[in-house]
Structure 1
Amino acid sequence: MPLNHSGSVFHFEEYMATKAERVNKALDEAMRYSLLANGKRIRPILYITSCELVGGDESLALTVGCAVEMIHTMSLIHDDLPYMDNDDLRRGKPTNHKAFGEAIVVLAGGALLSLAFDHVMAWTIDVPPELVVRVVAELGVVVGSDGLMAGQIVNIACEGQLVTTKLLDALAVCGMIMDGGSMAEVERVRRYARCTGLLFQVVDDIPDITKVW
């Protein structure tokens, strides 16, 4: 058996298990730290409302609503990093990387994103599989290179200038899809949500730019 620097036996499997446990604990703490912060929960509320518009039940909507908060939280903890917005505080608390370190934050963001999709697929019940697949596809597009990730890239390039996101748009659409809304209903809600998302972005970002509010 190999020896460590002190001359005692080095148990590789035990070492790996111990390190993995510590990493998992740190990831869990980092994810909970931001995910359970005192947010306004506007996004899942919009999703639930959209689902209820076509007669859906709140319990049906909560699964995707929670998944969306995971995606949104991932974007926030990445936005706060030094190479993005370089923020020290969020909602009155030290930002995630200040509390846990940059490496853990990057890993926690990836874990939250994966967990969001897993949560939708594993915990959505009494819904036709084809509708669940449509919702997952919609979220995938919004998170990907034409959506949230593109917004973060623009945010880096523009150093804080106004950036529009599609996340609010997707939430309303997914809520309508999940309860079987027609294509016409989905598109009407999509247009409404797009306008709402733009308004929200303006109200949220302009004060940061002008510092007049």
Structure 2
Amino acid sequence: MEFKQTLKQRANQVESLLKEYMPSEEGYQKTIMESMNYSLSAGGKRLRPILTMEACKVVGGNVEDVIPFAMAIEMIHTYSLIHDDLPALDNDDLRRGKKTNHIVYGEDMAILAGDALLNYAFEVMLSNSIDKENPNKYLKAMNEIAKTSGIYGMIGGQVVDIQSENKQISKEKLDYIHNNKTAAIIIGCMRAGAIIGDAKQEQLDKITKYAKNIGLSFQIVDDILDIVGDESKLGKKVGSDIENHKSTYPSLIGLDESKNIAYDLIQEAKDSINSINKETKFLSDLADYIIDREY
């Protein structure tokens, strides 16, 4: 079976699981649930929940234990997309092939939907941790997710990204943006999955390196696709980086060198993950998919 088919099956599995965790659209405040669910059910690759579950699996853990965390990760990721698309930030009107949240529900509800998804994600994780026999590892996993999605991770990267618009920045600062805005949450979700799966320190270190490398490579490829990508395949507008005067890998070092760096990062990621055991083929193939993707 081709990897894309396997990935689609995993994404479909996440879609089914996600429906069980989505808030019911009822009560006086049901509009906010509708807005949350609109973006949460918009599809996408679902890479972060897939990576969370796979990290648990490759270290010999019980994947069932990590499912609530995988779903929460997708909620956090979706909230970040809703806010990214707002007029005050990237001002996009298309996401995953659909109108962005603020176009459908207005800026006020879009802001609140993002806030609600972030809070609801932690509600889901906490409610599925407090009654466990060993709640400590679940708290550690939650800490990884909180840290890598917050001011020392994704939000920190977003801040520097915004402040760097219309400026020529160094590659060092661009790496900071990419490693925090994109890679950090990937590191957090995989470390969380591995921790819940009772990973040994050596396994955790290898998973961390894999996650960091594919996260940075993923963003470099995004930078490339924003120039050469097909809008119909991407499901979002291309050229927004140029329009918003953002520094990117291609703008700083050129397309060819950007591709070379991305390929090197992926090879290192594969070497790291494949040294854990023989159950890492999916993650190795996923690394190849990231570098070769068209959307």
TM-score by length of 2: 0.61
Q: What residue number does 1:82 align with?
A: 87
- Given residue 82 of structure 2, which amino acid in structure 1 is its aligned partner? I
Segment drifting more, 88-97 vs 156-165: 156-165
| Residue 33 of structure 2, aligned match among 28, 39, 44 | 28
* Number of positions where the alignment pairs a residue of Structure 1 with one of Structure 2: 191
Q: What residue number does 1:38 align with?
A: 43
| Residue 168 of structure 1, aligned match among 181, 186, 191 | 186
1:65 alignment partner, SS class:
helix
| Residue 198 of structure 2, aligned match among 162, 172, 180 | 180
State the alpha-carbon separation in 2 of the partners of residues 143 and 33 from structure 1: 22
Deviation at 1:143, TM superposition (A): 1.5
- Given residue 137 of structure 1, which amino acid in structure 2 is its aligned partner? N
- Given residue 193 of structure 2, which amino acid in structure 1 is its aligned partner? G
The percent of aligned pairs where both chains have the same amino acid is: 42
1:159 alignment partner, SS class:
coil
1:167-195 deviation digits (Å, cap 9, x = unpaired): 11111111110111122221221111101
Shift of the 127–184 alpha-carbon distance from structure 1 to 2, 3 Å rule, reads: farther
Question: In the alignment, is the contact (CA less than 8 A) between 1:67 and 1:117 conserved in 2?
Answer: yes
| Residue 211 of structure 2, aligned match among 177, 193, 198 | 193
Q: How does 1:2-13 map to 2 (within 5 A)?
A: none
1:103-140 deviation digits (Å, cap 9, x = unpaired): 11111111111111111111246561110110111111
Q: What residue number does 1:133 align with?
A: 139
1:66-98 deviation digits (Å, cap 9, x = unpaired): 000000001000000001110011112110000
Q: What residue number does 1:5 align with?
A: none
Deviation at 1:39, TM superposition (A): 1.2
- Given residue 131 of structure 1, which amino acid in structure 2 is its aligned partner? K
TM-score by length of 1: 0.83
Structure 1 portions without partners, runs of 5+ = 1-20
Deviation at 1:206, TM superposition (A): 2.4
- Given residue 80 of structure 2, which amino acid in structure 1 is its aligned partner? S
- Given residue 174 of structure 1, which amino acid in structure 2 is its aligned partner? A
| Residue 160 of structure 2, aligned match among 148, 154, 160 | 154
- Which of structure 1's runs of 4+ aligned residues deviate more than 3 A? 124-127, 159-163
Question: Within the alignment, does 1:212 sit opposite 2:218 as a pair?
Answer: no
Question: Within the alignment, does 1:66 sit opposite 2:84 as a pair?
Answer: no
- RMSD over aligned Cα, in angstroms? 1.9
